[in-house]
Structure 1
Amino acid sequence: MRDSIDLLQRVNEDRELAVLLADAFEFDVRRKAGSESPRLVSGLPLEGIAGDFTGGTFYLCGTVSSPRPVLYASSEGDAGIIATGLSQALALIVGFPYWRDSLEYSAGGDLGAMESATAFLLRDMMANRPAMEAEQSWVADSLCMPIETPLVLVARLHEAVKNAGSGFTFIDETGEYGNLFGPFSPSRNQRWK
């Protein structure tokens, strides 16, 4: 896989790719502005690289010469590492666009709950956007990356959020952000019965 600079350059140079990533996968490189004065407890630098429709921001952590995990900070005051690098983050975002919802229905970080929610979320995703598989294939081909199964991606996401460590605690002008794991179990969603 290419490193984060090459991937970002590819997205920024290919308007069709950038538009599809924004519209179908909520990874919009035109929305780089996040919170004012964002920082990590560890002091590692943050670079805003994209945003989503809800006001959340994706950040690369660290410097160009170091491994650069990807942190997602929501507009609701939750943040955490979602992947060990940009290629892994894009694999998650493209391979399972409903990844945020799997975190929301994680029952506080339970992988089994996330896997259960994923089955329902996949059904919802295909009903809401029938062209999703073709769009995923096109983006994956454009970025030269494989499409992995949602359950593999959700397990990797769970590990990234769970094992990030306190140094990746995100802080901005509003204070310290909470964890990305949501409190709800899949049974809370009445449509999933």
Structure 2
Amino acid sequence: MKSLITAVRDHDEAARFLAWPGDFDLDRGDHGEEVHLASGAALEGFAGDGAGGTFFFCGEGGENRPVLYADSEGRAALVAVGLPELLQLLLVAPWWRDCQALTAEEGRKLAAEYVEDLPDLVARRDRAAAALGLALPALEDALARLRDVALGIGKDFVLVFTPEGEPYDPLFEG
């Protein structure tokens, strides 16, 4: 079975959607500063965004490992359990970083703003999901899952700025 990372690289339209509006680039996996997980578990940067944020796989294994996101401002959160879940979030709610309350109402408002700017967003998203073989959750479900992951199990995934031994601040407040 082909990896999901390979599938993204093989499908130009899916990769373009994930790059924008998803702000997810598989060629930006270097975080630029030394970090580690407080637990001592392995940390592997595999993608990034245009603002210097990085997506990390946590622990050992393949694409079903937990995914932590760290921005360039010293904030971090666990955002998905596995790459499929992350890509579903990026496809359904590419504005997730701006959705600080993680509510359906806030998500719908942001979605409307994006669709106003990108009228073909839904059609492009659906083609990208089909190319990657991903079923898309409802917006409310994607945001509820992000909230559960970031504010629930994510508490066990503390990113530390290694040179100073200081933990990153939470990306979302619970």
Question: As a proportion of its length, which structure holds more strand?
Answer: 2
1:49 correspondence with 2:46: yes
Of the three residues 95, 100, 119, the one matched with 1:98 is 95
Alignment correspondent of 2:147 = 158
Alignment correspondent of 1:38 = 35
Alignment correspondent of 1:115 = 104
Segments of structure 2 that go 5 or more residues without pairing to the other structure are: none
1:181 correspondence with 2:172: yes
Q: TM-score, normalised by structure 1?
A: 0.81
Amino acid at match of 1:70: V
Q: Deviations for 1:77-119, whole angstroms, at most 9, x for unmatched residues?
A: 110111111100110011111111112xx2xxxx5xx222112
The 1:122/1:16 distance shift into structure 2, 3 A limit, reads: closer
Alignment correspondent of 1:124 = 113
Amino acid at match of 2:149: A
RMSD, aligned CA: 2.1
The 1:155/1:30 distance shift into structure 2, 3 A limit, reads: same
Amino acid at match of 2:38: V
Tell whether the 8 Å contact from 2:99 to 2:106 is kept in structure 1 after alignment. Answer: yes
Tell whether the 8 Å contact from 1:40 to 1:167 is kept in structure 2 after alignment. Answer: no
Q: TM-score, normalised by structure 2?
A: 0.89
1:71 correspondence with 2:60: no
The 1:44/1:75 distance shift into structure 2, 3 A limit, reads: same
Q: Deviations for 1:17-73, whole angstroms, at most 9, x for unmatched residues?
A: 323321221110111111422210011111111111111111111111695101010
Distance 1:65 1:87 in 2: 11
The number of residue pairs the alignment matches comes to: 172
Alignment correspondent of 2:3 = 6
Segments of structure 1 that go 5 or more residues without pairing to the other structure are: 184-193
Question: As a proportion of its length, which structure holds more helix?
Answer: 1
Tell whether the 8 Å contact from 1:140 to 1:147 is kept in structure 2 after alignment. Answer: yes
Distance 1:30 1:66 in 2: 16
